[in-house]
Amino acid sequence: MGRFHRHDEHGHSHGHGHTHEHGQAHGHGHGHGADLGDHSGYDTGPERVSVLERIFDENDATAAANRADFEAAGVTVVNLMSSPGAGKTSLLRATLQRLAGGPRIGIVEGDIETSIDADRLAGLGAAVTLVNTGNGFGGECHLDAPMVRSALPRLPLHELDLVIIENVGNLVCPAEFAVGEHSRAMVYSVTEGEDKPLKYPVMFRSADLVVVNKIDLLPHLPFELDAFYRNLRAVNPDAAVVETSVLTGAGIDRWCDWLTGVRR
């Protein structure tokens, strides 16, 4: 069926008001003057638009039901997103260790296949439940609201304060599907290059917080941190930022302060 981008992700309005299939977002108002390319090969017919809008409508209805259940239980939910290998699971391990004895945390672990990441988070005091999106022929590159809803009976919501949803590693699709979260954070690794906010604006635009991870590697990379921040501000001038290194522990306290601060 192909992917389908809408630009009011996470309930945010950025004045785009149109949708299109795979290909980069049209990025009105980014102000970076880049050539946005030829998207004519991705024109979407009205029938497909109708089908895909129904998919998003159904997803949003389930997301609203999820959020109602979270709020009835007094739980705050953070949707944690990133590309593969940016360090979400390592950051969550450090988080659970740092917040031991603090807020009661649940994790919804999303992966296409295997329980590798869920296993890494086991035994650290959190209630962890796994959602595999694979079907033997590939798998969904994101969690959606129905997938998250299927995981809720496996979490003791009324015994938790905070749920972190570790989404499937992907810089496009997870940003397009609300799952019932109250806030969104994304982990970005400095190994990914300065241009990622411009190439994947939907993800960066949807984030309330950007965790700039693996900063211990900066002395070893031809990476311009100031250029990354200029690109980030071009697409999302309001996102909070925390710089972290799981290896050295830098910034982990600030990240944990943000997490505990978003609790309702």
SS (H, E, C) the chain: CCCEEECCHHHCCCCCCCEEECCCCCCCCCCCCCCCCCCHHHCCCHHHHHHHHHHHHHHHHHHHHHHHHHHHCCCEEEEEEECCCCCHHHHHHHHHHHCCCCCCEEEEEEECCCCHHHHHHCCCCCEEEEEECECCCCECCCCCHHHHHHHHHHCCHHHCCEEEEECCCCCCHHHHCCCCCCEEEEEEEHHHCCCHHHHCHHHHHHCCEEEEECHHHHHHCCCCHHHHHHHHHHHCCCCEEEECCCCCCCCHHHHHHHHHHCCC
Is the pLDDT higher at 124 or at 15?
124
In angstroms, rounded to a whole number, what is the distance separating the alpha carbons of residues 66 and 62? 6
Task: Tell me the percentage of the chain whose pLDDT exceeds 90.
Answer: 75
Residue 26's pLDDT band (boundaries 50, 70, 90)? very low
What pLDDT was estimated at residue 44?
Answer: 58
Is residue 163 scored above 70 in pLDDT? yes
Average pLDDT over residues 11-36: 36
Superfamily of domain 44-261: P-loop containing nucleotide triphosphate hydrolases (3.40.50.300)
Average pLDDT over residues 37-54: 64
Is residue 236 scored above 50 in pLDDT? yes
| pTM of the shown model | 0.82
Residue 43's pLDDT band (boundaries 50, 70, 90)? low
Residue 33's pLDDT band (boundaries 50, 70, 90)? very low
Residue 6's pLDDT band (boundaries 50, 70, 90)? low
Average pLDDT over residues 62-69: 98
Average pLDDT over residues 56-74: 96
Ranking 2-6, 18-22, 178-182, 216-220 by mean pLDDT, the lowest is 18-22
Average pLDDT over residues 32-40: 47
Residue 231 phi, psi (nearest 5) = -65, -40
Nearest Cα neighbor of 263 from 31, 135, 35, 99 is 99
What pLDDT was estimated at residue 203?
Answer: 97
In 10 A of CB 24, how many CB atoms? 18
User: pLDDT (tens digit, 9 = 90+) per residue, 204-228?
Assistant: 999 999 999 999 999 999 999 999 9
Is the pLDDT higher at 243 or at 3?
243
Is residue 243 scored above 60 in pLDDT? yes
Is the pLDDT higher at 148 or at 5?
148
Is residue 51 scored above 60 in pLDDT? yes
Is residue 29 scored above 60 in pLDDT? no
